[in-house]
Amino acid sequence: MKAKRTFKKVRASLLVATLTLSGAILTPLTANAEVSQETKDKVTNLVKDYYNSQITTVGEEAIFPDAQVEGVSDDAVLDNEGTEGEITTFGAAVMWQTKKTYKGMEYGPWKTVGVRKASPTKGKMYVDFSTKVSTSYSGSIKVGVKKVESVLGFSLTSSKTTSFKNDWECKANVSYIAESRSRYKVYEVKQTKTVMNTWTGQKAVTNYYVKVKKNDSIDVRVR
């Protein structure tokens, strides 16, 4: 397991502290103090690193590289302007091109998977659970599911069940909550339809988009 890099907005109140960053000492701020953007960025990065250290990434998968293919698959739902590569009775040649681009990460809401109420003695909190995360998509598929899946490199109905088991040392008189969230890698599938008039050479281009959220297991944190 490794720490997952995430971003969480830093409140202005977190700047009111004495910190030593890159050899420069930041003195406590006053109401009238001016803070440079460089200083703000350093404090923001410090807090980001802190939050990163509190999140455990489980079962992360590699990013599928961007890809592009031509044509359609046999399950494509095409309109009356013609099939891929066919020259219609209207003198139009129809061509399709499908491209995939990785867009980044998205996350589900945090859900409680374990609780330890404050106790006068030290102890441990035990967490043991399984979570299923499924791939989903939205948008209009024109070139066929099989073609989109071939560009993506994975199934639009893929899913993954992750089991997690761990325990944490807990201080006396402190409450703890363990939480989990689903994690997704997001891809955009662009389907480009080009209709060319074989008499004039003029082209009409239409783009259709599908957003795909691929299951990428879970994150776990304790707070």
Over residues 54-91, the pLDDT tens digits come to 677 666 666 665 565 666 665 566 654 445 555 454 56
What pLDDT, on the 0 to 100 scale, is given for residue 133? 94
* In the predicted structure, residue 213 carries a pLDDT above the cut 90: yes
Domains of the chain: 1-53 (no CATH), 61-222 (2.170.15)
The full 3-state SS of the chain, as one line of letters, equals CEECCCCCCCCHHHHCCCEEECCEEECCCCCCCCCCHHHHHHHHHHHHHHHHHCEEEECCCCCCCCEEEECCCCCCCCCCCCCCCCECCCCEEEEEEEEEEEEEEEECCCEEEEEECCCCCCEEEEEEEEEEEECEEEECCCCCHHHHHHHHCCCCCCEEEEEEEEEEEECCCCCEEEEEEEEEEEEEEEEEEEEEECCCCCEEEEEEEEEEEEEEEEEEEEC
Rounded to the nearest 5°, which phi and psi values hold at 174? -130, 135
Over residues 12-48, the pLDDT tens digits come to 333 333 333 333 333 344 444 577 787 777 766 665 5
Distance CA 117, CA 119 (A): 6
Distance CA 84, CA 95 (A): 5
Over residues 167-196, the pLDDT tens digits come to 888 889 999 999 999 999 999 999 998 888
* In the predicted structure, residue 122 carries a pLDDT above the cut 60: yes
Over residues 95-108, the pLDDT tens digits come to 888 999 999 999 99
Over residues 126-165, the pLDDT tens digits come to 999 999 999 999 998 988 899 899 999 999 999 989 999 9
Residue tagged 């923001």 (tokens)? 44
What pLDDT, on the 0 to 100 scale, is given for residue 215? 93
What pLDDT, on the 0 to 100 scale, is given for residue 38? 78
What pLDDT, on the 0 to 100 scale, is given for residue 74? 59
Cα-Cα end-to-end distance for the chain: 18
